[in-house]
Amino acid sequence: MADITYNIEKSFGVISEEKNGWKKEINLVSWNNRNPKIDIRDWSSGHEKMGKGITLTKEEAVKLVELLAEAIESIN
């Protein structure tokens, strides 16, 4: 299995934090030296380990924001 490389180019913030120190973050990440994408996933405190997550292009992120706004509006 090939090694996965990553570089967190910009950190936008923490969505939540677990008692064990892992944080769900939104970052701009370059995976395997490719163009960076918006990335949402859990990270250990030093970013040496990561959980499963989702990466989005700019267009996908814009659509996600639209859909989330609609979903939030539908909640009582």
| Per-residue pLDDT, 68 | 95
| Per-residue pLDDT, 61 | 97
| Per-residue pLDDT, 1 | 65
The CATH architecture assigned to 6-74 reads Roll (2.30)
* C-alpha to C-alpha distances, 23 to 8, 30, 33, 48, 52, nearest whole angstrom: 14, 19, 24, 12, 12
Taking 70 as the pLDDT cut, the residues of the chain under it are: 1
What's the predicted TM-score (pTM) here?
Answer: 0.88
* Domain extents in the chain: 6-74
